[in-house]
């Protein structure tokens, strides 16, 4: 699964979603994590009420299952959730590497229900119907 981190320094989750200069994206599995890409943003990122600044960020993280932030506004959170991305707010700046290790540990064990749901993002739901049953009920 892909996980996005809002960061100013590319080392820690230390940025508000709307104000983040960088979003680092990692591919994470129970067996490891590797850096996938970094997306940089510029312009007037600190202007409150400027919802247009969120569109490129939402586009950048559209394939991600989880978004780690230092903070996120109500409308930003609503838009992230509407894109089936689970936002997680850290209480204080936290090293991305440390978060990745914790996340891998959770994936190796029994992930909580919210994470199991997140892991299903992007997977096609398959239904195993017996063709005879479908024809009989038709």
As a whole-number percent, the residues of the chain with pLDDT over 70 amount to: 80
Start-to-end Cα distance in the chain: 38
Q: Is the predicted pLDDT of residue 44 greater than 60, yes or no?
A: no
For residue 98 the two structure tokens come to 């440390």
Nearest to 23 by CA among 84, 83, 66, 52: 66
This prediction has a pTM of 0.82
Beta-carbon count within 10 A of 125 CB: 5
Q: Is the predicted pLDDT of residue 131 greater than 50, yes or no?
A: no
């Amino acid at each position: 699964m892909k996980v996005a981190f809002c960061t100013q320094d590319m080392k820690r989750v230390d940025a508000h979603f709307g104000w983040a200069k960088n979003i680092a994206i990692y591919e994470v599995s129970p067996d490891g994590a590797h850096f996938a890409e970094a997306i940089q943003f510029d312009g007037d990122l600190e202007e409150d009420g400027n919802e247009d600044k969120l569109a490129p960020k939402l586009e950048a993280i559209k394939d991600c299952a989880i978004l780690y932030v230092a903070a996120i506004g109500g409308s930003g959170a609503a838009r992230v959730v509407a894109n089936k991305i689970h936002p997680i707010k850290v209480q204080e700046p936290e090293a991305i590497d440390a978060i990745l290790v914790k996340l891998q540990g959770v994936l190796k064990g029994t992930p909580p229900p919210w994470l199991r749901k997140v892991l299903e993002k992007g997977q096609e739901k398959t239904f195993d119907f017996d063709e005879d049953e479908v024809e009989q009920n038709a």
